[in-house]
Structure 1
Amino acid sequence: MTAVAHLYRGEVYRSTIWRTRLDTTTNWAVVTLGVALSISFASPDASPLPLVLVGVLVIFFLMQEARRYRYFNVWRARCRWMETHFYAPMLDEGDLHLEDNWQKTLANDYLHPRYHVSLMTAIGRRIRRNYLWILMIQSLAYAGKLAVHPAPVESLEQAFRRADVGPLPGEFIVGAGIFYISTWIAIAIWSHFHDDRRARLRKTDSSMG
């Protein structure tokens, strides 16, 4: 009992540390987007290019956060497994129901550690939780910059000319931006249905991962 209590404390500590690391990468993404907004809207003549370039950094932070989430999910799942199969039955019935072999599932996870979710699932979950809003703000800010600076846009052709980046025409930049945001939205939607399908296939109310 004492060993399990210390084990649980250790897993809670590790999940807390990795949860903090998730917040750190989200904060970095928000700060960099804020810097890009400040630069692009500093004056009517300022270029909207920083709002395009910051997308690379946002995606870099998303990849980092998804990787960290996969680690966090391992510690979180172990904590939840012990809560639902050890502490809750002990407090409610005084019977640990070892015949269900839940302890073997936990032991196997320690003997053969692995990620509980794929990288794509982790990416989708982080987009749904935080990054969809960041990406939407970035996209709306870019569209707003083209629409109002240096003067209110009067035609679609004029908006495309404002979006030109060196030899790259504005049509290409805008099209790439639409593909960019659509891809991440599609991943978020896919992960939502994927998680729902996994939940329906579970044989118990709680699961590792």
Structure 2
Amino acid sequence: MGAIAHLYRGEVYRSTIWRTRLDTTTNWSVVTLGVALSITYSSPQASPLPLVLVGILIIFFLMQEARRYRYFNVWRARCRWMELHFFAPMLREGDLHLEDCWQDRLANDYLHPVYHVSMWTAIGRRIRRNYFWILLIQTVAYLGKLIVHPTPLETVGQLLERAAIGPLPGWLVLTIGALYCLSWGIIAILSEKSDIRRAKTRRDPLGMG
């Protein structure tokens, strides 16, 4: 009993630490986007390029956060597994139901540790939880800059002219931006469908992973 209690406390500590790391990368994304917004909207003549370049940093932070989420999900799953099969039965009826072999599954997870979700699933979950709003603000701010600065937009030709970056024509830059947003949306939708399928086929709705 004492060993399990200490084990559970250790897993809670690890999940808390990695949860804090998830929040850190989200904060980095928000801060860098805020800096890009400040630079871009500092004057009507300021370039919208910082809002484009910050997308590279957002991708980097998203990848890093997805990797951290895969670690966090392991510790979270172990905590939930012990709560579900050890603490709850002990508190309710005093019977740990070892005949269900839940302890073997936990032991195997310690003997052969693996990620419980794929990288794509982790990316999709982080987009749905946080990065959808970050990407939405980035997109709206970029389009808003093109529409209102340096003067209110009058023709589509002006939009394409303002969107141009060096030798890259405006239509190409806007197309790349649309693919950038669309790709993250597709990943989020596909990962959500994958989560739904996993939930339906899982033996235990509150099981490991």
Q: State TM-score, norm by structure 2.
A: 0.99
Whole-Å separation in 2 of the counterparts to 1:205 and 1:31: 37
Aligned position for 2:187: 187
Whole-Å separation in 1 of the counterparts to 2:92 and 2:197: 30
May I ask how many residue pairs the two structures share in their alignment? 209
Residue 153 of structure 1 aligns to a residue in which SS? coil
**2:56 is the counterpart of 1:56:** yes
Aligned position for 1:27: 27
* Structure 2 counterparts to residues 64-143 of structure 1, below 5 A: 64-143=64-143
Aligned position for 2:199: 199
Deviation at 1:35, TM superposition (A): 0.2
Aligned position for 1:144: 144
Q: Which amino acid aligns with 2:64?
A: Q
Any stretches of 5+ residues in structure 2 without a counterpart?
A: none
Deviations 1:146-193 (A, max 9, x none): 000000011111101001100000100000000000000111111111
Deviations 1:95-137 (A, max 9, x none): 1011111000000000001100000000000000000100000
Q: Which amino acid aligns with 2:201?
A: L
Aligned position for 1:41: 41
**2:172 is the counterpart of 1:172:** yes
Whole-Å separation in 2 of the counterparts to 1:31 and 1:51: 13
Deviation at 1:34, TM superposition (A): 0.2
Deviation at 1:205, TM superposition (A): 2.5
Aligned position for 2:158: 158
Aligned position for 1:10: 10
Whole-Å separation in 2 of the counterparts to 1:169 and 1:207: 52
Residue 13 of structure 1 aligns to a residue in which SS? helix
Q: Which amino acid aligns with 1:84?
A: L
State the 4+ residue runs in structure 1 displaced beyond 4 angstroms: none
Whole-Å separation in 2 of the counterparts to 1:106 and 1:196: 24
Deviation at 1:204, TM superposition (A): 1.5
Whole-Å separation in 2 of the counterparts to 1:55 and 1:136: 11
Deviations 1:25-80 (A, max 9, x none): 00000000000000000000000000000000000000000000000000000000
Whole-Å separation in 1 of the counterparts to 2:206 and 2:48: 47
Whole-Å separation in 2 of the counterparts to 1:184 and 1:132: 8
Deviation at 1:93, TM superposition (A): 1.0
Whole-Å separation in 2 of the counterparts to 1:10 and 1:189: 34
Whole-Å separation in 1 of the counterparts to 2:56 and 2:77: 31
